[in-house]
Structure 1
Amino acid sequence: MPRPTTARRLRAAATTVAAVALSGATLLTTAPPAHAARPGAPCATPRLTADWYGDNRARLQQLIDTYGTCAHRPGRAKPVAVFDWDNTVVKNDVGDATLFWLLRNGRIRQPARGDWSTTSRYLTPAAASALADACGALARPGDPLPTGAPRGTGCADELNAVYGTGATRAGAAAFAGWDHRTIEPAYAWLAQLTQGWTAREVRGFAAAARSENLAAPVGAVQRVGSSTATGWVRYYDQQKELIASLRKAGFDVWISSASPQPVVEVWAEGVGIGADHVLGIRNTTTPAGRFTTHLKGCGSVPDGADSMVTYIDGKRCWINQEVFKVRGAAAERVQPAARRQVFAAGDSDTDVSFLRDATALRLVVNRNKNELMCRAYDNADGKWIVNPMFIEPKKQKAAPYPCATTGYVGRDGSPGPVRRGDASIVPDQTDTVFPFPGPLQRNVRPSPR
């Protein structure tokens, strides 16, 4: 009997019904026709090879096989994948790394009139006063502060305390009056502290910090003011491979981060993502192209209102606006499934909203964050997967996550229960995905610059 032709085999494959196991449920899908990478060649999606926890690699491979180039017809919109950056694609925080570099190298400018309240509308009078006392005599308005020199140590310490702890060195609250679902004022303040510089200059600062942090050994610390701070960053091998495989399979891959836009642009180059696919905190600029202390808005929030950045619900807005071209207040709302990402990855409560919006699969890197882990472990629709951190993973959280009582933070900062989409309360969840002996610790070598 003659063997069937390639065309006949592809036509037969197009009618095959594939049973796909998803968290105990069986999803029946009709396999679409494959499309050859070149005339006469079979279509094959990239295969993941890196080490993952449990069956996570199989679930991610299933995503690629189901939505990749071999499974969708030419002319249709590419499936979208969105990754958080800090501690999701890399270990440690590139915003922190940049601030430490700015302080060590004296690249933060004295604000206009020496008035620190101009740097953030949420900065408290106590914080503005503490910063003025520590930094006011060191430079004229607009000039860089000598935070890397001995005489600038107190100023560096005050800036680092306000950014890193949300309080002054004396313990007074540094920020007040913000919407806890759309902005984190300390994260935004880092972008605002780049006022007076151009995007190109800030990218240069970030590139210098990147080189230092990739070259430093794992566990390295650096001197910042009178204290020490984390001095190293690493790309996760697993995430680099996943991003490369998704892009090769035809996904439209984006980065959404609560670090400053130029900083993330520099780091994203290391995984092949261009600046036009990075969503970070964005400054407004002067006519000469220099950053101001104000921020670009999203949805119904205008530029300069400084209240909607890439943070929790703000990430949803920026993704809807920039990726799916939804305009106005509609960008702040959950969109129909056809106008949402199929895949999302994150590690923090910062990422909850855009992860929930993903329609096919949601990857959580476990850093023991309450709301995120409540939703991931509740796994109400079977589309959540959890992985330990790939380098220096967290130990198992001893107590259950307080999902039913205080796992959620409201707009005014008050705690409450975590609720599902139908308003039912998520019960407390036990931490079940935690470190184990194995090859996940292999990628601790210094990364190439």
Structure 2
Amino acid sequence: MGAAAAIAAGTLVATAPAAQAAHCTAPRLAAGWYGDNRARLQQLIDEYGTCNPYRPSRTKPVAVFDWDNTVVKNDVGDAQMYWLLRSGKIRQPAGDWTGTSRYLTPAAARALADACGALARPGAPLPTGTPAGAGCADELAAVYGTAATRSGAAAFAGWDHRTIEPAYAWLPQLMQGWTAREVRGFAAAARAENLAAPVGATQRVGTADVTGWVRYYDQQKDLIGGLQKAGFDVWISSASPQPVVEVWARGVGVAADHVIGIRNTTTSGGKLTAHLQGCGSVKDGADTMITYIDGKRCWINKEVFGVRGAAAEKVQPAARRQVFAAGDSDTDISFLRDATALRLVVNRNKNELMCRAYDDSDGKWIVNPMFIEPKKPKSTPYPCSTTGYVDHDGTPGPVRRGDTSIIPDQTDSVYQGVSAK
């Protein structure tokens, strides 16, 4: 029987690929998932992986994970900010503090100047880890963590709420003057501390006690490894700084060239500037498009699928989109919606995300409680029909499906203690 006839008859031909197919075993996911989520994820691997059927020449299916509170518990950007403050690694800006962010308000710039201005010369690190620098550390932490000064004045203004979060962007901007290699060293130190600290630990930053620990989610690490073994092209898309996420991503087997974080522009000498790389129609240094909501879509289209120019800001044809995506926050909405086969949501009670996930209009959403210290069920419905969506100018409104119909309010129904397998 010839090869063509054998294939038509449904029999294996004794070729090298067929021999490999006969011995191919799809990775099996470990337990620890809510409801039938493990079965749904396993179905994804079985359907799109290299074993079913064995097709070594086909394009790899793409899977994209958010990082903070999706792959790890807690936020590695926060962990890095706290480490920078404790270690005195944030530099006094050369001019007014508004040079660190185009969105920083005059009130915030004045508060920072009052708290930090006398502590170091321009370009020198601020002594935020010392008693003398505690007030400066507190002001920096307030602006970063609450988007307000210690006195309650708004710290940022005038941004597009679907493409950038100024407080997130401010962290890499505060790293100006260091090289990416130096920042990776800072990240390695912060990572070691946060993994060694017990669950629930706090640390003193300035005069406040803040979160002092991070953990990888075993289930997500297992899922990423299983997808990779099954032939998926796995990427991380995060609104934490690029060099920081690169260091953390190694812990789940994702290389630096598959990490998309917030990216600074650099000087000719390789030092980070206070400006950010752009995407789509946004040029480098415009500081308006980071890996945040629609910005995540743009950066994934650009880096993963090679889409250039303004087209990267648009939803691509199904063949040029990820088959799987995982996230935990409204910041992940756009790239989750772009996934063509399955979308995993880690439930942190975020309005727009949970409205869409629970509505599940196309049957491709699955929800899982947080794997460590899961949230309690939300006591009131998600306000999908009224204020669950935040528009570009920050105005709240109803969450709409692709056909523009309004999603009705949704009840929180996936939480620990209901069903876990």
TM range (shorter): over 0.9
Q: 1:90 & 1:9 partners in 2: Cα distance?
A: 45
1:88 matched residue in structure 2:
70
Q: How does 1:153-168 map to 2 (within 5 A)?
A: 153-168=134-149
Residue 251 of structure 1 and its aligned partner are, at CA, apart by 0.2
Structure 1 partner of 2:190: 209
Q: Which of 361, 364, 379 is equivalent to 1:398?
A: 379
- Residue 306 (structure 1) aligned to one of 269, 272, 287: 287
Determine the structure 2 residue equivalent to 1:78. Answer: 60
Number of the residue aligned with 2:233: 252
Alignment check: 8 A CA contact 2:21 2:51 kept: no
- Counterpart Cα distance in 2 of 1:37 and 1:276: 32
CA contact (8 A) 1:35 1:43 kept: no
Distance 1:234 1:270 in 2: 11
Partner of 1:334: 315
The answer for the alignment partner of 1:24 in structure 2 is none
Q: Can you list the C-alpha shifts for 1:276-308, whole angstroms capped at 9, x where unaligned? A: 000000000000000000000000000000000
- 1:382 matched to 2:369? The reply is no
Q: Is the Cα contact below 8 Å between 1:222 and 1:228 reproduced in 2?
A: yes
Q: What is the Cα deviation at residue 10 of structure 1? A: 11
TM-score (structure 1 length as normaliser): 0.90
- State the identity as a percent: 79
Letter in 1 for 2:251: G
User: What is the identity, as a one-letter code, of the residue corresponding to 1:428?
Assistant: D
Task: List aligned pairs for 1:419-434, cutoff 5 A.
Answer: 419-434=400-415
In 1: Cα distance, 2:380 partner to 2:33 partner: 25
Query: Partner residue of 1:360?
Result: 341
Q: Judge conservation of contact 2:17–2:56 (CA < 8 Å) in 1.
A: no
Distance in 2 between the 1:348 and 1:13 partners?
A: 47
User: Which of these residues, 173, 177, 182, is aligned with residue 163 of structure 2?
Assistant: 182
Does structure 2 conserve the Cα–Cα contact (< 8 Å) formed by 1:35 and 1:69? Answer: no
Are residues 224 and 35 of structure 1, via their aligned partners in 2, closer, same or farther at CA, if it must alter by over 3 Å? farther
Counterpart of 1:111 in structure 2 is: 93
Tell whether 2:10 aligns with 1:12: yes
The answer to whether the 8 A contact 1:50-1:237 is kept is no
Letter in 2 for 1:111: P
Task: Please give the secondary structure, in 2, of the residue aligned with 1:123.
Answer: coil
| Residue 65 (structure 1) shift | 0.2
How big is the shift at 1:361?
0.1
Q: Does 1:62 align with 2:60?
A: no
Q: Distance in 1 between the 2:212 and 2:160 partners?
A: 31
Deviations along 1:95-144, whole A, 9 cap, x unmatched?
0000000000000000013x101000000000000000000000001000
Q: How does 1:413-424 map to 2 (within 5 A)?
A: 413-424=394-405
Mark the runs of 5 or more structure 1 residues left unpaired by the alignment.
1-6, 15-33, 441-449
Number of corresponding residues: 414
Aligned partners of 1:261 and 1:279 also within 8 Å: yes
CA drift at 1:44: 1.5
2:300 maps to 319
**Matches of 2:7 and 2:31 in 1, distance apart?**
32
* Match of residue 326 from structure 2: 345
Residue of 251, 259, 262 corresponding to 2:243: 262
Q: Normalising by structure 2, report the TM-score.
A: 0.96
- 1:36 Cα deviation (Å)? 5.4
Change (3 A) 1:326 1:13: farther
Contact residue 34 and residue 420 of structure 2 kept, 8 A: no
CA gap of 1:47–1:199, structure 2 versus 1, over 3 A, is: same
**Secondary structure of the equivalent of 2:10?**
helix
AA aligned opposite 1:153: A
CA spacing shift, 1:126–1:326, aligned 2, 3 Å: same
Return the match for 2:84 from 102, 106, 125. Answer: 102
Q: Give the Cα–Cα distance (whole angstroms) in 2 for the partners of residues 235 and 284 of structure 1.
A: 29
Three-state SS of the structure 2 residue aligned to 1:12 is coil
- Please state whether the residue corresponding to 2:274 is helix, strand or coil: strand
Residues of 1 paired with 2:247 and 2:9: CA distance? Answer: 45
Quote the Cα distance in structure 2 between the aligned partners of 1:302 and 1:35.
Answer: 48
Q: Distance in 2 between matches of 1:409 and 1:345?
A: 21
